[in-house]
Structure 1
Amino acid sequence: MRVVAIIPARYASTRFPGKPLVDIAGKSMIRRVYERVSAAAGIQEVWVATDDERIYNHVKSWNGQVMMTAVHHQSGTERCAELAGRLDPAPDIVVNVQGDEPFIQQAHLHALVACFNDQEVMIASLMKRILNPEELMSPHLPKVIVNQQNDALYFSRQPVPYLRDVPQSEWLAHHMYYKHVGIYAFRMHVLQELVRLPATPLEQAEKLEQLRWLEHGYRIRMAVTHAEQFAIDTPEDLQRCLERLDELEANM
């Protein structure tokens, strides 16, 4: 099984322009992600997919594998699909790693790839148990509910399920809630199908791309992870990262 990880990287982020190139203790964010993924067992190749020459030239400067992709892509999934489609030989599994995860845990990557030992798995992603009320109620943190096979039933920015006869302050004591950890892996042919799908009502309502796949009948296998995620979406996140750098690197 040939597994290729692709890191989509844009310069023109709305909340944090130039984010992939910011310095974190002597290394750029994109280089930290690349090196973390490259060290993971079970991943044969790592590529950066970008539409910006500054990112392209930066990755080339330390001999990373990088490819220019089209400027019109609306999502990292589309950018991954373009690059994967140009590889020869084609990968069996494509792992889409966010370019703002400089402390990505290898446990995340191992759990994702292991899902494909089941030949029926088309798409895999991760979930982590929610342990505090702030995460449960945050609309910025998507939640997921699954069936008995751990295939996703629904993703929402609201807490799901709603516990009808339980005070909201007690929900975590009465039900096991999970947040979605936004790393994906796809069988190659499925990834190419997904990027041709039209948008769907639930996706547009929640602004969650993965709902498009569910609405079109694709299954997403959810693996449970206990490893924490630390993404950098804003300059404030970067400052918190620098303040916790020793702790974050120790947990890698």
Structure 2
Amino acid sequence: MSRSIIIIPARMASSRLPNKPLADIQGKPMIVRVMEQAQKANLGPVIVACCGSEIAAVVRQAGGIAIETDPDLPSGSDRIVEALRHYDPEGVYETVINLQGDLPTVDPHLIQASLAPLADPTIDIATLCCKIRDTNEVGNPNVVKIATSAWVEHGGIVISRGVYFSRLAIPANAQTHYHHIGIYTYRRAALERFVSLPPSYLETTEKLEQLRALEAGMRIGVVLVDGMPQSVDTPEDLARVCIAQPA
């Protein structure tokens, strides 16, 4: 198996939850909680690609690795690539996991599961989804939906290929809709290609970065998992996570 690295992009700017990476969750900053969950996956080094010295200081104080990136980079993907080139200029790590910095309770097994589609050499990028059980989420534009090809089981893991992502309910007339989970696992060459591409028409229309890859002909493998990790985007989300998270 190729060598893996987990990189967590983090920046302070957030309109709904100011200073989000440093938000306190039972005595630890959120970015440290995410880093610790990533370390439990035991897949390789865990790096925080951060915009700003405040985040870097907190990560290093907790014993983690932080790499400060250009604050003018346009996306988390660009931040990840800059940190990767800095940490691993010789290209030792062939698989790069982009773990969002607002998932403080993410199950390490979900991170591990994201590697499964890359067993197929035709897959460039892998990600996760789960069934939508709350019907209110189907029409919610803040919930990203995914349309896939037929699901196939491989060794107890259910895998498909991502055909389209949308904020609308897709596919039409489906009995079951799927909620996309924003964890991405890239072949390194695919990640480098992805960030070299200009923003695409569908990407800018839907405001979904992964559509750039599909428009460029890249193949996205999808793993079906049981549950959606709680993301923290608002003060209300933070309060719920603080209640659920042990000290």
Fold agreement, TM-score > 0.5: yes
CA displacement at 1:216 relative to structure 2: 1.1
Which amino acid counterpart does residue 97 of structure 1 have in structure 2? L
Other-structure match for 2:144: 142
Aligned residues: 236
TM-score in terms of structure 2 length: 0.91
Which string of whole-angstrom CA distances, capped at 9 and with x for unpartnered residues, describes residues 164-193 of structure 1?
xxxxxxx6xxx1211101110101111011
CA displacement at 1:242 relative to structure 2: 2.1
Which string of whole-angstrom CA distances, capped at 9 and with x for unpartnered residues, describes residues 10-52 of structure 1?
01222212111111111110111101100113x1110000120
Other-structure match for 2:15: 14
Q: How does 1:158-173 map to 2 (within 5 A)?
A: 158-163=168-173
Looking at structure 2, the residues matched to 87 and 58 of structure 1 have their Cα atoms a distance apart, in angstroms, of 19
Q: How does 1:144-223 map to 2 (within 5 A)?
A: 144-148=146-150, 150-163=160-173, 175-223=175-223
Looking at structure 1, the residues matched to 208 and 59 of structure 2 have their Cα atoms a distance apart, in angstroms, of 29
Return 143-152 or 192-201, whichever deviates more.
143-152
Looking at structure 2, the residues matched to 198 and 92 of structure 1 have their Cα atoms a distance apart, in angstroms, of 23
Looking at structure 2, the residues matched to 214 and 13 of structure 1 have their Cα atoms a distance apart, in angstroms, of 28
Other-structure match for 2:237: 237
Looking at structure 2, the residues matched to 97 and 138 of structure 1 have their Cα atoms a distance apart, in angstroms, of 23
Q: How does 1:1-252 map to 2 (within 5 A)?
A: 1-41=2-42, 43-88=43-88, 89-90=90-91, 91-148=93-150, 150-163=160-173, 175-245=175-245
Looking at structure 2, the residues matched to 209 and 66 of structure 1 have their Cα atoms a distance apart, in angstroms, of 24
Other-structure match for 1:168: none
Which amino acid counterpart does residue 162 of structure 2 have in structure 1? A
Which string of whole-angstrom CA distances, capped at 9 and with x for unpartnered residues, describes residues 122-162 of structure 1?
10000101122111111100100112361111111010122
**Partner SS state of residue 86, structure 1:** helix
Return 147-156 or 197-206, whichever deviates more.
147-156
Which string of whole-angstrom CA distances, capped at 9 and with x for unpartnered residues, describes residues 194-252 of structure 1?
01111112111111111111111111101111133100011121112223335xx9xxx
Q: Compare the two structures and name the one with the higher strand fraction.
A: 2
Which amino acid counterpart does residue 22 of structure 1 have in structure 2? A
Looking at structure 2, the residues matched to 202 and 96 of structure 1 have their Cα atoms a distance apart, in angstroms, of 21
Task: Write out the 4+ residue segments of structure 1 that deviate beyond 4 Å after TM superposition.
Answer: none
Looking at structure 2, the residues matched to 123 and 29 of structure 1 have their Cα atoms a distance apart, in angstroms, of 26
Gaps of 5+ in 2: 152-159
Q: 1:108·1:227 contact (CA, 8 Å) conserved in 2?
A: no
**Partner SS state of residue 74, structure 1:** coil
**Partner SS state of residue 94, structure 1:** strand
User: Percent of aligned pairs with the same residue?
Assistant: 37
Other-structure match for 1:167: none
Looking at structure 1, the residues matched to 227 and 182 of structure 2 have their Cα atoms a distance apart, in angstroms, of 13
TM-score in terms of structure 1 length: 0.89
Structure possessing the higher radius of gyration over alpha carbons: 1
Which amino acid counterpart does residue 231 of structure 1 have in structure 2? S
Gaps of 5+ in 1: 164-170
